[in-house]
Structure 1
Amino acid sequence: MIDFHGVKIPAIGMGTWHMGSDPGLYDQQKATLQYGLHHGATVIDTAEQYGSGDSEKIVGDAMKGFPRQKIFLISKFLPYHATKHAMADALDRSLERLGTDYLDLYLYHWPGGTPLAEVVNNMEAMKKSGKIRHWGVSNFDLSDMKELLSVPGGHDVMANEDLYNIGSRGLDYEVLPWQRKHGIPLIAYAPVDQADTRGNGIIKNTTLEKVASEHHANAFQIMLAWVVRDDHTLAIPQTDSQKHMQENIDAAKIKLTDDDLKALDKAFPKPTHKQLLDII
């Protein structure tokens, strides 16, 4: 478990991008989400953009019968829904699709044209309404985060969700150190680099394979354990497989040693200069 501004949640939850739109996969995906909920992956990350609401619908379907208070539910709104009335309407539509009356965390999906001070004010209004417990941002770089904290109420941001994995370490140069300094947790999306197909080249790295062997794990589990190594990061891998879901859950129990981390740093070096924010 990790501490998210006083809220205890599992370090590895469930992403839902690309879920809910394929009728041929719907039952399998729903069953995988339900398996995750019943085996400890009680954080679900979704968005109004994913499948134009399809992902929220399958999440709502999967949550039926599971105690709502035991789920930490995250969704996101699009930049053109950042104004007051558009945000309120977008939130209501998301809640309806999800079959719930509140979100635990509502994220501004990426920076848009609405002034950040207005966006924060609107999110605070949603929080006062009781329809969201917390708010945060996504796909924010360091300049965006600094601007956020400069506006009234900006310090109330719960988290920033960015792409982060052992093969994409741009955040390690300045974003992550800055967020840790300011006590802002990271939500890492694509923590195994879109590798649910199990065909990703990173997993063939000999160092990754060696560390995995020493922990009686697979390379994907080591990638996840690496992402959540600091106890302040939430990883949200996406999978349609119950087997892989259990592997993801088990990855949270892996404690990488100092020697492991040194070896992995050598194989996948930290950036030595500012990099553009990776986005998919």
Structure 2
Amino acid sequence: MGDQVLSRREFALRCAAAGVSYAAAGALLTRTAGAQAPAMQAAARPGRRSVKLPDGTTVSALGQGCWHLGQGRHPPQVEEEALRTGISLGMDLLDTSGNYGHGRSEQLLSHVLAGQRDRIYLVSKVEGDEVAGDGIARACAASLGRLGTDYLDLYLLHWPVPSSQFPGVVAAFEQLRAARKIRAWGVSNFSVAQMQDLLKVPNGARCATNQVAYSINNRGIERDLLPWSRQHAIPVMAYSPLGGDRNLVVNDRTLASIGSAHGCTAAAVALAWVMRGGDVIAIPESGSPAHTRENAAALSLELSPAELQTLEAAFH
């Protein structure tokens, strides 16, 4: 009988059933298999943090949020250049929504996607008040039109709806996936209880991620949602990974001191902290190329155990 290949989620569930720590089992497999997998190790891109989704797709652990883009905060040419800068530095996951600026964020992204769609992992969202009937399909079609593309890599339900609507939502997502309008789907702002209800729905286990707020100064999901997500091998996508106010991070002395030691900014340290576990995707927003370059430094920043302890003491 040939070797059986388990997905990350299957492996996590079997570890839980056996009462074995997923992290400990994974570390043991890494140590014992390290000498047997030189090709896989050689294929890794130096300096690029990545996260593997349940379907096996590997994405950058550091993406770019597009909430305020296309809405006049910065000239559109500057915002487009910021996104292109991030893509060139490995931040090729772009997160938007049909609701951001009433579609203007998606329209701006269409200019950035042109000529390089295949190198970008594109995420958009549908709102909870659009899920009735064929609303999800219509919302997806509208987003695709604004973005100037024929598919989304990931489509999220932006906010929870009553659990009685979960079967219809999942069915609509699966229909879009079968039609190749989306490649994967997920949710946003779901609690543990809502995630548990979702996984009870037929095909609910195909959820690729749960996008929630998470930062070094907003750690609420560590109480239950993050451990639950790790147990079920569902990566978290962290919006507002700089706490919603970049200035609070930039002016923090502890973050700035650690950043100075690494030749980077406090913002890069805060982002590296969010990504430290290997299963959280951070999507900071930036409207300028300069801030994007600062953020990108987090992709190659490894915080030492001592630095992590210092940050734990400062932000616990």
TM-score scaled by length of structure 1: 0.91
Distance 1:103 1:167 in 2: 31
Distance 1:94 1:205 in 2: 38
The counterpart of 2:221, out of the listed 165, 171, 174, is 171
Matched residue type, 2:271 = L
The counterpart of 2:166, out of the listed 110, 116, 128, is 116
Please give the per-residue CA displacement for 1:151-202, whole angstroms capped at 9, x wherever unaligned.
1111110000000000000000110000000000010000012234xx22x4
The counterpart of 2:156, out of the listed 77, 102, 107, is 107
2:103 is equivalent to residue 46 of structure 1: no
2:182 is equivalent to residue 132 of structure 1: yes
| 8 Å CA contact 2:95, 2:123 repeated in 1 | yes
* Alpha-carbon distance change, 247 to 82 in structure 1, aligned in 2, over 3 angstroms: same
Matched residue type, 1:94 = S
Q: How far is 1:210 from its partner?
A: 2.5
* Alpha-carbon distance change, 25 to 9 in structure 1, aligned in 2, over 3 angstroms: same
After superposition, residues 91-240 of structure 1 pair within 5 angstroms as 91-113=140-162, 115-196=165-246, 199-200=247-248, 202-240=249-287
| 8 Å CA contact 1:12, 1:252 repeated in 2 | yes
| 8 Å CA contact 1:83, 1:122 repeated in 2 | no
Distance 1:24 1:208 in 2: 27
After superposition, residues 7-86 of structure 1 pair within 5 angstroms as 7-22=57-72, 25-66=75-116, 68-86=117-135
Distance 2:89 2:311 in 1: 29
Any stretches of 5+ residues in structure 1 without a counterpart?
Answer: 270-280
Distance 1:179 1:262 in 2: 23
Distance 2:120 2:273 in 1: 24
| 8 Å CA contact 2:264, 2:297 repeated in 1 | no
Distance 1:93 1:221 in 2: 35
* Alpha-carbon distance change, 100 to 167 in structure 1, aligned in 2, over 3 angstroms: same
| 8 Å CA contact 1:165, 1:193 repeated in 2 | yes
Q: How far is 1:231 from its partner?
A: 1.1
* Alpha-carbon distance change, 31 to 203 in structure 1, aligned in 2, over 3 angstroms: closer
Distance 2:265 2:73 in 1: 31
Q: How far is 1:13 from its partner?
A: 0.8
Segments ≥4 residues shifted beyond 4 Å:
none
Bigger fraction of residues in helix? 2
Q: How far is 1:24 from its partner?
A: 5.7
Whose Rg is larger?
A: 2
What is the aligned-residue identity percentage?
A: 37
Matched residue type, 1:244 = H
Distance 1:84 1:7 in 2: 30
Matched residue type, 1:117 = P
**Greater displacement, 91-100 / 23-32:** 23-32
Match in the other structure for 2:34: none
Q: Give the secondary-structure state (helix, strand or coil) at the position aligned to 2:134.
A: helix
Matched residue type, 1:69 = D
Match in the other structure for 2:137: 88
| 8 Å CA contact 1:189, 1:237 repeated in 2 | yes
Distance 1:162 1:168 in 2: 11
Distance 1:213 1:9 in 2: 28
Please give the per-residue CA displacement for 1:68-90, whole angstroms capped at 9, x wherever unaligned.
22110000000011134111110
Q: Give the secondary-structure state (helix, strand or coil) at the position aligned to 2:278.
A: coil
Q: How far is 1:209 from its partner?
A: 2.5
Any stretches of 5+ residues in structure 2 without a counterpart?
Answer: 1-49
Distance 2:183 2:121 in 1: 10
